[in-house]
A and B are shown apart, each in its own frame.
Chain A
Amino acid sequence: MAKSSDDVWILGASMTKFGRYPGRDVVDLGSEAALAALSDGDVKIHDMQVMAVGNLAEAGGMVGQRIQKQIGQTGIPVYNVANACATGATAVRTVYMAIKSGEADMGLAVGVEVMGKAGLLGSAGRSKEGPNVYEPSGRYGAVMSPEGILGTGVMPGVFAQAGMEYAYENDGVTFEQFAKVAEKNHAHSVLNPLAQYQKAFSLEEIKAAEMVAYPNTLLMCCPTGDGAAAVVLVSGEKLASLSDEQRKRAVKISASVLTSDPWTERGQVQPDVNTLTRNAADAAYEKAGVSPQDLDLVELHDCFATAELLHYDNLRLCEPGGAGDFIDSGAPRRDGRTPVNVSGGLISKGHPLGATGVANLYEVATHLRGEAGDRQVPEAKVGLTHVIGLGSACAVHILEKAAS
């Protein structure tokens, strides 16, 4: 791993504990994460030359500038970004590109979300005021909300269908195998003090929980919640001028890739979460010169248990079609061959939408630095992060420990 001055590095990283913060807003949580990331990197807001802030719920609300007004108004460019559940990773990549382009040598990326108890996400049923008259509207000429009549577009069902499609194409994937993913991630979260929930559940409890959208039970769905995460990125050239301690803890971004959906026929009626993930993963492996077998840990987008199983295959962690066997083998457990979501994943660590794609970089970087405490993956040198936002946007980052 030669240090090239072209490389971009993570200098500082932080996340708030995910959970529920009544009375705190996106500015409070975003500022907390930003200040902690700056402190972690031993730099100041005045060292930043660019800032990108990811948030969905207030995407039109200049959240980045509002955070600046709390932590330092230095006049640098701010990019406020939104990209569904890939929002945080998009903010990271915005700063990454600014550094790559040579416009900046240090920048701050923040992801933040305050959701409260938002409930089901997706195209929920609408209620109308006034007289009820059927008039075709929208791009499908619909006279009423099609939710629950022409199938479902709400997230648990969408990802359930994605999982069942995998079952259709790969004989033998079962309800139990999907449930095992959730059992693993809940178990992992027990060791993560920053997780929204830190409670293990038995496979039987997970299978017997309230069914939300078969095969996803309530314990196989991520919760809504609040939280923020931030990273400070630095150019390789600038990093060379910093202290030994800063250089030692720096984590290299070996690949940063963002994709959208290429046209597929079925993607017109049911989001195709596979193709853009495969494209992103393949491009990232090539760019980093890393193979899936080299990965010491992976933080992937387990918004639902069905999603994680698919992504074993999409990220090439298992043999093609072998995601069911992969979970059965224990390979993605913390002590397995390729630990997946040792943080507890979205299912238990939580999923404040805009924060997620930054928080998973925090998690992997913390392991590569050897600072993950009880949940530390031993000797971790290479890790991958993945998020997908429906619509769709997929981001994959590959991180590597600094050569000592």
Chain B
Amino acid sequence: MSTTVPIVDYLELGDEPRLVAKSCSSCGALYFDRRNACARCGGTDFDRRPLAGQGKVRTFTIVQRAAPGVKVPYVSAVVDLDGGGSVKSNLVDVEPAPEQVTLGMPVRLVTYSVGTDDQGTEAVAFGFAPA
């Protein structure tokens, strides 16, 4: 049986993959990275907060020139998740053309394999597909 690993630690794999943020216990500010303290209120305690798998495209770009090793074109977007939290990722299952992506369009979280390492571990990334 092959094992899987999420591309980043705020992606939780399983039957229903989801994004899990660190939420400041004092003010509720959300973060995806390792925290020393809350940048908003200074609190040092955090809770895990699962985020919704649905949201709307707040902004996007279509990247056509990138560093070697990065496949182009692709659509990068910031998605406002229903119920709170914003996250950046690629839009998938959509043609990378300006007329195919609409600001405000509803999207849903999807996961897919982005590679296998020398020990057979598969890395799983997330993206957003049109809902």
Contact = CB atoms under 8 A, between A and B. Distances in A.
A151 B57 CA distance: 13
B68 interface: yes
7 closest A-B pairs (Cβ-Cβ)?
A141-B9, A160-B61, A124-B67, A148-B70, A151-B76, A165-B59, A214-B62
Interface in B4-50: 5-10, 29-34, 39-40
Contacts, number: 164
Interface in A157-196: 157, 160-162, 164-165, 167-168, 175
A214 B78 contact: no
Interface in A122-160: 124-125, 127, 131-134, 136, 139-144, 146-152, 154, 156-157, 160
Interface of B: 5-10, 29-34, 39-40, 58-72, 74, 76-78, 80, 85-90, 98, 103-104, 114-115, 117-119, 121, 123, 125-127
A143 B5 contact: yes
Interface residues of A, number: 48
Interface of A: 119-120, 124-125, 127, 131-134, 136, 139-144, 146-152, 154, 156-157, 160-162, 164-165, 167-168, 175, 210-216, 218, 263, 265-266, 268-270
Given A143-B6, A165-B59, A213-B61, 8 more contacts: A119-B67, A136-B5, A141-B10, A142-B8, A146-B7, A148-B72, A210-B64, A269-B78
B32 A149 contact: no
Contacts of A141: 8-10, 34
A119 B65 CA distance: 10
A131 B10 CA distance: 25
5 contacts: A125-B69, A136-B9, A154-B67, A214-B64, A216-B61
Contacts of B115: 144
Contacts of B72: 148
Contacts of B119: 133
B61 A150 contact: no
B96 to A, nearest CB: 9
A141 to B, nearest CB: 3
B39 A148 contact: no
Nearest to A306: B61
A381 B33 CA distance: 47
A265 B74 contact: no
Contact of B86 (A150, A168, A265): A265
A148 B63 contact: yes
A161 to B, nearest CB: 5
Contacts of B118: 131-133
Contact of B59 (A144, A164, A211): A164
A151 B77 contact: yes
A148 B59 contact: no
Given A149-B7, A269-B87, A263 B65 contact: no
Contacts of A127: 68-69
A107 B62 CA distance: 46
Contacts of A132: 117-118
A313 to B, nearest CB: 15
A142 B103 contact: no
